[in-house]
A and B are shown apart, each in its own frame.
Chain A
Amino acid sequence: MAEPVLEVHDLHVTFSTENGPVPAVDGIDFAVAPGQTLAIVGESGSGKSVSSSAVMGLLPSNADVTGEVLLDGRQLAGLPNDELRKIRGNDIAMVFQDALSALNPYYSVGWQVAEAYRLHHDVPKKVARRRAVEMLDKVGIPDAARRADSYPHEFSGGMRQRVVIAMALVNDPRVLIADEPTTALDVTVQAQIMRLLDDVQDEFGTALILISHDLGVVAEVADDVLVMYAGRAAERGTVRDLFFRAAHPYSLGLLGAMPRVDVPPKPRLTTIPGTPPGPGSITTGCPFQPRCAYTHLVGERCITERPELTPRPGEGDHEAACHLGRRPEVIL
């Protein structure tokens, strides 16, 4: 892999609440190189969104973040807010799921994109506006010069998401974090947005961190995948490692549970019993053990000992955190 632009080492996030500390992310590592896409996959409560917000320094004040967040080798975690503000939106930008709440209903979209530019560039308003129109055009807003004066409510969901992407890209960020960018969109619009993100990466060499629960989207755009479960990494590897050589029972379960549109249906979907644990339910053993179909093959260790990521056969750095050393056979 090329030199990574963003590296995260041993990231821990713990929220202090009335009911005591709630660990949400419990030691994860990831890295992404220019032009590459890393997908972080997981179900609700797995800590995937918290991890990315931690990278951006966007967590509320009751979050305790430890670990290294390195942008070009420079430590971001623990930087004072005014330093972080120079990086946020400039070197690292973020696109959220809900475009409507990411935009201010009071200002025209052109103004909002221009403002994002002026926050990091000392230029006259006119120049910023020109830049905004240029970006809106680039993300496929038709008739951008005129539409720049429209307000968010005058756009459809897909167009709003384009505006948010324009805003995120206006400063040529090195890293773009997209948190479920297409979840709220219809599938035909989703296809448009995924193509747009792909074009953007080709043109600007942006590193993309895509947070998603949709394995279809992940299979299509990701180079590397990190599967999270209960605040930990269950498995990581290239996209082909994950889809063709899944080594963690949870990854395998997720793949089996996905219905597919392109092949005749299976009589039954494979399921994972139970429900994903909420944040804070981090245990001593393997967090997936209560739902795991393979735990009887290993025994006590699953309950007593936390599995660490260990190398698995694959293309690159394929690793899984499971005591079952070999690839699990599919159980139906």
Chain B
Amino acid sequence: MSDELLALKDVKKYFGLRGVPWQKAQAVRAVDGVNLVVRKGETLGLVGESGSGKSTLARVATRLLDPTQGRVEIGGKDVTKVKGRRLRPIRRRIQMVFQDPQASLNPRQSVATILSTPFRAQGLRPTRAQLVELLEQVGLAEEHLVRYPHEFSGGQRQRIGIARALSVKPDLLVCDEPVSALDVSVQAQVLNLLADLRDELGLSYVLVAHDLAVVRQVADRIAVMYLGTIVEEGPAAQVYESPAHPYTKALLSAVPVPEPGVSRDRIVLTGDVPTPVNPPSGCPFRTRCYKAEDVCATKRPVLEPVEGSTEHRAACYFPELPTSERTQ
């Protein structure tokens, strides 16, 4: 497809656990066979709980990590093996925004230096006007150029992180938990900013987040991860209105709703996420699933279209049936 910005093909990322002499070295299967496509102009929400591999996947997609197996394609070109200097044109198309703006900004650099770094990495020299434009895009002003990260609040620092990512005019921003470190009132400001930038600049996003309400606010499409695999993906409205995978259903039902008296048919999962060192056989979710049967332990289910939809897919032997009329 021509409008494919980013495609991940059967991507795996294993981290080696250093073996102790009397034990066999084991691997953490952080990402275990993921296929994913991001199209031009869309916002893909990548959700999952801690340890689901969503951040690792984001780092593989931005080529900050090399996949153990599989392919990363950008604009239809295989870039899995591209190294060093030749990565630059890729970095120009994909940029990343990190969770903790405190840790991802150098405290000894002024905002002007921080914002010029991506230009210099590309062998360019930004003009002052370019830097001011960047700041204005994210709601800051020229006077902020000479200041240092500690002089800003958390929300403003995140704006600087976003401005830095925008400096090389990327097509795709991969945002890893961009608002989870921020207060509620400030979080809303940053989410609105991301939406505005999308409309103004025609950006695409991959939004990695554990907060399902945040993702619903901005994403067009959702991919739900569990133990390194995608268990469900589809248009946001469909996934949120009628989740097909039992995990998605449980996850959504667990989110408290800010309205007293709203009764939720909550599915409280028992137990914890199993270790990615030794994931369960078959379906990774079967150990906590309320629908699991023998077949679930045999072979890992693959993503298959959910009844009545081509875009909405789930990896489950016993998917939930669509509950209500779909909002198209």
List residues of chain A with CB under 8 Å of any chain B CB. Answer: 43-44, 156-159, 186-192, 194-195, 213-220, 222, 239-240, 243-244, 253-262, 264-266, 268-273, 275-276
Contacts and interface: CB of A to CB of B under 8 A. Distances in A.
A212 B240 CA distance: 25
B216 A187 contact: no
Nearest to A265: B217
A187 to B, nearest CB: 5
B256 interface: yes
B197 to A, nearest CB: 13
Contact of B268 (A191, A262, A265): A191
Contacts of A275: 153-156, 183, 185-186
A36 to B, nearest CB: 14
Nearest to B153: A275
Interface in B156-209: 156, 183-189, 191-192, 195
A258 B183 contact: no
Given A260-B213, A268-B195, 6 more contacts: A157-B50, A192-B269, A220-B260, A258-B188, A260-B258, A275-B153
Given A43-B185, A258-B213, A271-B192, A219 B258 contact: yes
Contacts of B256: 190, 194, 214, 216-217, 219-220
Interface-central residue, A222, A260, A269, A272, by most chain B CB under 10 Å? A269
28 contacts: A156-B273, A186-B49, A186-B210, A188-B268, A191-B254, A191-B266, A191-B269, A192-B270, A215-B184, A216-B255, A216-B256, A219-B256, A219-B258, A220-B257, A220-B260, A240-B260, A243-B259, A258-B188, A259-B217, A261-B212, A261-B216, A262-B257, A262-B262, A268-B192, A270-B188, A271-B188, A275-B154, A275-B155
A233 to B, nearest CB: 18
Name the residue in B49, B184, B250, B269 with the highest tally of chain A Cβ atoms < 10 Å from its Cβ.
Answer: B184
B186 to A, nearest CB: 6
B252 A261 contact: yes
Contacts of A269: 188, 191-192, 217
B185 A254 contact: yes
Contacts of A257: 184-185, 187-188
B81 to A, nearest CB: 35
Contacts of B189: 271-273
B186 A254 contact: no
Contacts of A243: 258-260
Given A186-B50, A271-B192, A275-B186, A216 B261 contact: no
Nearest to B193: A271
A254 B213 contact: no
B251 interface: yes
Contacts of A256: 188
B151 interface: no
Contact of B183 (A43, A189, A190, A219): A43
A320 B99 CA distance: 35
Contacts of A156: 272-273
